[in-house]
Amino acid sequence: MLNGQPHLIVATPRESETQRWAQHFRDAYPDWRVDLFQPGQAATGAQYAVVWQPDPLLFSQEPSVRAVFNLGAGVDAMAASIPSDMPLYRLEDAGMAEQMAEYALYGVLQATGRFRPYEEQAREGRWKAHRPVDRKQWPVAVLGLGVIGRKVADVIASLGYPVHGWSRTLHQADFPTYAGQAGLHDCLAASRILVNALPLTAQTRGLINEDTLSRLQPGAYLINLARGAHIVDQDVLDALDSGQLSGALLDVFTQEPLPADHPYWGHPGVMVTPHISGITLREQALEQIGSRIALLHQGQPAEGRVDVRLGY
């Protein structure tokens, strides 16, 4: 139990974003002290840091910070800079999982092409029914069965698509699940659509590459809603060229914004979106982070703690 009200510091790469979140916390928790991080300023004495991709200086400049709260699900941007014993909490779901399941479903519909003839026919004023898509022909691999991957997998499975889920450790689910290297190969071989919902760690970096893509059923479709560095971009472009991939819906990139001259832009098989598959929702994030800070401040444990060693 700490004396007084919680004292927060907010740190993000953009000053306007830092100010915005600081104001949200002040509005939601008027008794708390909320400061803004500026590199080079004197230590504020904050006990909790609320961050998105924070400047690594944060951790040396604010030595009284005793817990860090990420304003998103993925904590990879801090992996190299956060002290290994610093309690780190990430957003769990907080309204993101539903958005991401919807995003994945949009990709599945792009893959099957169910609505493509109707888009054309609507423009042409033509009334003609086509046979329904045979969902069994579109088995979906979901990589990563955390809160987000699990929601994606459950939503897609609920619509009758065969779903195969892969994760680092074996999970129980109503669909077949796999773990480990051999499990990954089996999961991919059983699938034609690949949805990536993994955390970015040393083990998962570059996991979507020539070898893994070649294990999917031919004419596969890739949906990446996790991190750009999971993908070897050239291998995806080559697989699109060879027809091993029929298309890709990509939300995340090694460099964001995606550079103007990147071959993904304008590629006929690729749809690019600007990292919007799961947007942090203000109300849910404030509620989740605020209630966790309140618990810690009373000396109680809080959920959502990241295993910094594992990276998620």
Residues marked as catalytic: 227, 275
Q: How many angstroms separate the Cα of 62 from the Cα of each of 7, 15, 301? A: 12, 18, 22
> Shortest gap between Cβ of 100 and ligand GLV (angstroms)?
9
Residues 238 to 257 in contact with ligand GLV, rule: CB under 6 A? none
Per-residue contact track with ligand GLV, 19 to 58, x per CB under 6 A?
Answer: ----------------------------------------
Only segment of 26-34, 72-80, 113-121, 281-289 that touches ligand GLV (CB under 6 A): 72-80
Only segment of 66-74, 101-109, 156-164, 213-221 that touches ligand GLV (CB under 6 A): 66-74
Q: Binding of ligand GLV at residue 87 (CB under 6 A)?
A: no
Euclidean distance between CA atoms 235 and 306, whole angstroms:
31
> Shortest gap between Cβ of 302 and ligand GLV (angstroms)?
18
> Shortest gap between Cβ of 310 and ligand GLV (angstroms)?
16
Q: Binding of ligand GLV at residue 199 (CB under 6 A)?
A: no
Q: What is the dihedral of CA 14, 16, 18, 19, to 10 degrees?
A: 160
Helix axes 96-112, 147-158, angle to 10 degrees: 50
Name the residue among 112, 99, 103 with its Cα closest to residue 221.
112
Q: Binding of ligand GLV at residue 144 (CB under 6 A)?
A: no
Q: Which residues contact 138 (CB under 8 A, 6 or more apart)?
A: 108, 111, 112, 161, 162, 192, 193
| CB nearer to ligand GLV: pick between 73 and 82 | 73
CA 255 to chain centre: 15
The residue number whose beta carbon is nearest to ligand GLV equals 72
**Segment (H or E) for 297:** helix 282-297
| CB nearer to ligand GLV: pick between 228 and 269 | 228
> Shortest gap between Cβ of 199 and ligand GLV (angstroms)?
9
> Shortest gap between Cβ of 54 and ligand GLV (angstroms)?
13
| CB nearer to ligand GLV: pick between 73 and 188 | 73
Per-residue contact track with ligand GLV, 277 to 296, x per CB under 6 A?
Answer: -x------------------
> Shortest gap between Cβ of 175 and ligand GLV (angstroms)?
24
Number of residues that bind ligand GLV (CB under 6 A): 4
Q: Binding of ligand GLV at residue 72 (CB under 6 A)?
A: yes
Q: Collapse the DSSP code of 258 into the 3-class scheme (helix H, G, I; strand E, B; otherwise coil) and give the result.
A: coil
**Segment (H or E) for 248:** strand 245-250
| CB nearer to ligand GLV: pick between 180 and 257 | 257
Euclidean distance between CA atoms 286 and 289, whole angstroms:
5
Q: Binding of ligand GLV at residue 74 (CB under 6 A)?
A: yes
| CB nearer to ligand GLV: pick between 112 and 201 | 201
Euclidean distance between CA atoms 127 and 3, whole angstroms:
70
Q: Which residues contact 305 (CB under 8 A, 6 or more apart)?
A: 87, 88, 89
Name the residue among 92, 50, 42, 41 with its Cα closest to residue 71.
50
Using CB under 6 A, list all residues that contact ligand GLV.
72-74, 278
